[in-house]
Every structure is written in structure tokens, then in C-alpha cells.
Amino acid sequence: MKTHPFSRRDFLRTASVGAGALAFGNVLSSFAPKPNKKLGIALVGLGNYSTYQLAPALQQTKNCYLAGIVTGHPAKAEKWKHQYHIPDKNIYNYETYDQVKNNPDIDIIYVVLPVFMHKEYTIRGAEAGKHVICEKPMALNAKECGDMIAACKKADRLLSIGYRLHFEPHNMEVMRLGQQKVYGKVTSLDTGNGFTYRGDPNAWRLKKAMAGGGGLMDMGIYSIQASRYTLGQEPVAIKARQEKTRPDFFKEVDETIYWEMEFPGGFVTTGKSSYNHDWSYLNVVAEHGKFGLGPAFGYGEVDGYTSAGPMDLPQVIHQAVQMDDFAQCVWQNKQSRVPGEEGLKDMKVVDAIYRSLDSGKKEKIV
Ligand code: NAD
């Protein structure tokens, strides 16, 4: 495993040479003047992602730190309090959550809950006067995403989605190669993301009302994202089909979905998502060469290639770079490169995929 602790100097040096214009924006923003105070983040929901990724990443961040927690489990609160030296006044439960508005230690709320709770906790966070990061998938559907964006605008707070790959050098490189047509126009794009679900059959991820869907909502979001950010365009229509080999297990949600996604001008990409296959790749062919990623989307090691050979880019702690960038945005009162609108665009695609599964036809993305 090549993964090593995030070195900002390494990343900036490599990004400025290798990852081109998209990364260069990041380099410039890191030299902007900073207020003295690191921004305080409160994690809402202390499940697997908070415990094993976000809290450890917050020990590596430069611009923000773990200031508070919101949890329904007093035992977890006690453990985190000691492990991360969190003062009692910065510990909330779901009932006392709104009182965060009186707490100057907390600048940013990070919603890391099951999907059906994203909308409520994002809106309550913004109404409490805090900037918000909400995990993916942004919400149950596009309508909810619109409500969240409107509420954050009304409260004059920034909203960002936990799309860590926009800060990951290999993924940033495919954005550059695709969007700047470094190998000419893209002529084929295929991407897939999934894992073989062997977890608790009663988990929220398998309940339609709590998760909104299955492999598509959880994993397919990355394949949709990769198609969009490689081309730098918005899709207009989609045709999808699904496969279920374990219908007893995936009673309420999708297992594997395959789709053909159409972009303006008629170019069609292929993509797939699954709770029953271990996929994590992006393969792109262009007029004068090819490039891609694999593993592409996990938060372990990411690898990539081009016609010129393997990509030689650093491994970073995705979440640390992502949260540091959002803290910069708050300091500068500037929209994140992954704002709520980015989550909304993906959910419009997801909604159209589910409509296509119902109708059996190609559906417009609206
Ligand atoms: P998890 O099941 O491990 O944690 C969910 C947390 O929510 C738990 O602490 C649970 O106690 C709490 N919770 C509060 N009310 C609940 C309720 N009514 N039902 C169930 N749980 C409730 O899930 P996770 O893997 O940490 O995922 C949380 C979010 O983070 C999801 O949106 C997921 O998609 C996202 N996530 C993102 C990434 C990434 O790479 N960006 C990776 C993993 C998870």
C-alpha cells in the first residue's frame, strides 16, 4: 500500500506540475491570507465514516479541527470526549442539536448520517448559523436537494457535499485530461463502482425509506460523478436496466444497475453500480490516446494511467484535503468547488435512472 500521511508540500508541488490547471486553482487558494483561528467542525452521526475516516483525518487538517460531536449514544459521546479532548459544552444529541447556534467553537457542521436524515440535519445546521458539509448521496431525491440549497442560501451559509475525489490528485488529473481534451475528444467512457455487500441484512442501507436506494445511491454516485467530471458536461438522458441475483437480501433496494448516459451532441457513456460486484474503475478512450483510473474511487490507494504510462501522483488523505479546502472557502466566503448544486446534478441523474427502470425506456434528465 503506497498510501502515506498527507504531505501538503508534496501535494502542492506535484499538483502544480502534474495535475495542471484544475489543481493549480487549489495551489493559488492555499496562499490566500488566513485568519488566525482554525475552524471548528462538529461531526453529526458517529458511525463508521466519522469514526474511521473523518475523525482521524481531522487530526491531519491544517485549517480546521474536530471541535464537537452530535450523537444519540451517551457511551459514544463519553469515548469520543476522552479520545479527542472534546469539552462537554461541545457535545450534543439530536434533541439539543439546534443549541449549537450559541456555540462559537463550532463553525462547520458535517452531516454524516443515513441519507433520509441529510435534509433535516443540513437545514437545522444552516438555520443554527453554521456552514454545512453534507455526505453523499446528498439526499433521497433531487427535490430534497433543492430544499437544502434554498435553506442554506436563505440562511446565508455555505453548503458543500462530501465529494472527496475532487481533491484527489488522480481524479483531478482525469478531469484535466478529459476537460482540456489533452488526448483529443473523448470517444468512449466506461466506469463502474461497487462492492459485495455482506453486512447486516437489517441495516439502513438496505431500506428504501432510509437510503433512497441501494448500490446506485451509495456507489453509483461515483460513476455518475466520474462521467460528468471527466467530460465537464451535463448529461441529458439515460437508459438503465437492473439485475438482482440476491432478491431476498436486496428486497427494497437495487443490487446492480447498468446504464447508458447521453450527453449533448449524442455522445453516450456507459456506467454501472453494484452491491454485488467489486468494481472501482474509469476507462476513457480519446482520439489520440487513453487514460483511466483503477482503483478509482475508494479512500485507500488510487492509481491511474495514460497512454504515456502510469500516473505518478501522490496519495493523499482525501477527507483532510477536502475539509481544509472547505475551511478556506469559509474564510474567503467563496462557494466550494463541490457545492450543493453538484449534489443536486447527480441526484437528477439518479432520479432519471429510477424512472428508466420503471418505464423500461430512455428518460430525460430534468
Ligand atoms: P453508519 O451506519 O456507520 O453510521 C450512521 C450513523 O448514524 C450511526 O452512528 C447511527 O447511530 C446514526 N444514526 C442516527 N439516527 C439513525 C437512524 N434513525 N438510523 C440509523 N442510524 C442512525 O453509516 P456510514 O457508513 O458512516 O455512512 C454515513 C454517511 O456517510 C452516508 O451518507 C454514507 O453514504 C456516507 N459515507 C461517505 C463515504 C465517502 O467516502 N464519502 C464513505 C462512507 C460513508
Mark whether 220 and 276 lie in a shared domain: yes
Task: Kindly indicate the confidence band of residue 37, based on its pLDDT and cuts at 50, 70 and 90.
Answer: confident
Would you say residue 266 has pLDDT above 70?
yes
Mark whether 185 and 147 lie in a shared domain: no
Indicate if 76 belongs to the active site: no
User: Other C-beta atoms within 10 Å of 288: how many?
Assistant: 11
Q: Take atom 31 of ligand 1 and give the residue whose Cα is closest.
A: 114
Pocket test for ligand 1, best of 44, 46, 48 (most atoms within 8 A of CB): 48
**Structural domain includes residue 63:** yes
Higher local confidence (pLDDT), 214 or 2:
214
Q: Take atom 30 of ligand 1 and give the residue whose Cα is closest.
A: 112
| DSSP line for 136-193 | SS-SSSHHHHHHHHHHHHHTT--EEE--GGGGSHHHHHHHHHHHTTTTSSEEEEEEEE
Supply the CATH number for residue 97's domain: 3.40.50.720
**3-state percent helix, strand, coil for the chain, nearest multiple of 5:** 40, 20, 35
Domain that holds residue 148: 21-164
pLDDT in tens, 53-102: 999 999 999 999 999 999 999 999 999 999 999 999 999 999 999 999 99
User: Other C-beta atoms within 10 Å of 96: how many?
Assistant: 10
pLDDT in tens, 309-330: 999 999 999 999 999 999 999 9
Beta-carbon contacts of 127 under 8 Å, excluding residues fewer than 6 positions away, are: 98, 101, 151, 155
Mark whether 116 and 195 lie in a shared domain: no
Please say which residue of 103, 130, 164 terminates a domain: 164
Indicate if 136 belongs to the active site: yes
Would you say residue 177 has pLDDT above 60?
yes
- Helical H runs in the chain? 8-18, 20-30, 48-49, 55-57, 74-84, 118-127, 142-154, 169-179, 208-211, 215, 221-231, 318-332, 340-359
Instruction: Look at residues 320, 354, 347 and name the one whose alpha carbon lies nearest to residue 142.
Output: 347
Mark whether 113 and 208 lie in a shared domain: no
Going by the DSSP 8-state scheme, the letter that residue 339 receives in this structure is B
pLDDT in tens, 212-259: 999 999 999 999 999 999 999 999 999 999 999 999 999 999 999 999
**Structural domain includes residue 354:** no
Mark whether 113 and 52 lie in a shared domain: yes
Record the pTM: 0.92
Instruction: Indicate whether residue 46 lines ligand 1 (CB < 6 A).
Output: yes
pLDDT of residue 25: 35
* Residue 226 near residue 191 (C-beta atoms within 8 A): yes
Mark whether 141 and 234 lie in a shared domain: no
Instruction: Look at residues 262, 293, 257 and name the one whose alpha carbon lies nearest to residue 272.
Output: 257
Instruction: Indicate whether residue 83 lines ligand 1 (CB < 6 A).
Output: no
Task: Kindly indicate the confidence band of residue 12, based on its pLDDT and cuts at 50, 70 and 90.
Answer: very low
The C-alpha angle 189, 230, 14, rounded to 5 degrees, equals 125
Nearest atom within ligand 1 for CA of residue 205? 2
CA-to-CA dists, residue 122 to 69, 107, 197, angstroms: 15, 14, 28
pLDDT of residue 66: 98
Supply the CATH number for residue 204's domain: 3.30.360.10
Q: Take atom 17 of ligand 1 and give the residue whose Cα is closest.
A: 114
Q: Determine the distance separating the centroid of ligand 1 and the alpha carbon of 348, expressed in angstroms.
A: 22
Please say which residue of 295, 315, 335 terminates a domain: 315
Q: Determine the distance separating the centroid of ligand 1 and the alpha carbon of 242, expressed in angstroms.
A: 25
Q: Which of 119, 136, 239, 345 is catalytic?
A: 136
* Residue 259 near residue 270 (C-beta atoms within 8 A): yes
Count of CA atoms in the C-beta half-sphere (13 A) of 61: 27
pLDDT in tens, 195-212: 999 999 999 999 999 999
Number of domains within the chain: 2
**Structural domain includes residue 13:** no
**Structural domain includes residue 36:** yes
Work out whether strand 131-134 and strand 237-243 pair parallel, antiparallel, or are unpaired: unpaired
Q: Determine the distance separating the centroid of ligand 1 and the alpha carbon of 55, expressed in angstroms.
A: 14
Mean pLDDT on 246-274: 97
Mark whether 299 and 262 lie in a shared domain: yes
pLDDT of residue 202: 95
Q: Take atom 40 of ligand 1 and give the residue whose Cα is closest.
A: 299
* Residue 108 near residue 132 (C-beta atoms within 8 A): yes
The order of strands in the sheet holding 108-111 is 91-92, 64-70, 39-44, 108-111, 131-134, 159-161
Q: Determine the distance separating the centroid of ligand 1 and the alpha carbon of 174, expressed in angstroms.
A: 29
Instruction: Indicate whether residue 110 lines ligand 1 (CB < 6 A).
Output: no
Mark whether 183 and 115 lie in a shared domain: no
Mark whether 77 and 207 lie in a shared domain: no
Beta-carbon contacts of 359 under 8 Å, excluding residues fewer than 6 positions away, are: none
Mark whether 127 and 149 lie in a shared domain: yes
Q: What is the rounded average pLDDT for all residues in the chain?
A: 92
Q: Which cell is 307 given?
A: 497512454
Nearest atom within ligand 1 for CA of residue 118? 32
Mark whether 34 and 126 lie in a shared domain: yes
The C-alpha angle 267, 270, 276, rounded to 5 degrees, equals 170
**Structural domain includes residue 31:** yes
Please say which residue of 269, 293, 315 terminates a domain: 315
pLDDT of residue 300: 92
pLDDT in tens, 118-130: 999 999 999 999 9
Q: Determine the distance separating the centroid of ligand 1 and the alpha carbon of 36, expressed in angstroms.
A: 32
Quick one: what percent of the chain has pLDDT higher than 70?
Answer: 90
**Structural domain includes residue 37:** yes
Q: Which residue in this structure is represented by grid cell 462538529?
A: 42
Q: Which cell is 116 given?
A: 433520509
- State phi, psi for 364 to the nearest 5 degrees: -70, 145
pLDDT in tens, 283-309: 999 999 999 999 999 999 999 999 999
Q: Which residue in this structure is represented by grid cell 460513476?
A: 223
Mark whether 173 and 254 lie in a shared domain: yes
**Structural domain includes residue 193:** yes
Distance (Å, whole) CA 287 – CA 32: 39
Q: Determine the distance separating the centroid of ligand 1 and the alpha carbon of 289, expressed in angstroms.
A: 40
**Structural domain includes residue 347:** no
